[in-house]
A = this chain, B = another copy of it.
C-alpha cells in the first residue's frame, strides 16, 4: 500500500515539503528536554497532519505499508512538543516526550550501534 495521495495537511505546509520518490520526508525524533535523538521515522502528508494536530506522533511505516501511531501497540507513546521543518523541506525535527523505550528492541534510543569512527 502506498501513502495516501491527498490529506488534510495545511496546503501551505504541504507546498513546502520536498518529498522523496515514495512521497515521504524523514522525521527525526528527539527527547525535548535531554536532547537525546531517539529514532528516525518517515511521514507522508497525512502522517504529518496527524502529528501536527493530535499531540501524538504518527509515522508511515515503509516496511508494513500503513500508518503507525507510535505507542498504540507498545504503550511507548511520543507526546509532541514541537515540529520544525528544515530549510530544504525534506526533513522534520519532532521534539517529544517519549514514554519508555523509543526502540522496538526495548532500548531507549534506536542509535545504539557505534560504528567506531576516527574522531577529530
Write the residues of chain A forming the contact surface with B, with a CB cutoff of 8 angstroms.
13, 16, 20-21, 26, 28, 30, 34-37, 39-40, 51-56, 79-88, 90-93, 97, 103-105, 107, 110-120
Contacts and interface: CB of A to CB of B under 8 A. Distances in A.
A17 B82 CA distance: 30
Nearest to A89: B113
A56 B105 CA distance: 31
5 contacts: A39-B86, A39-B91, A52-B117, A87-B105, A92-B115
Given A119-B80, A120-B80, A87 B114 contact: no
Nearest to A96: B120
Contacts of A40: 26, 28, 86, 90-91
A93 B31 CA distance: 14
A77 to B, nearest CB: 9
A69 to B, nearest CB: 12
Contacts of A26: 26, 40, 91
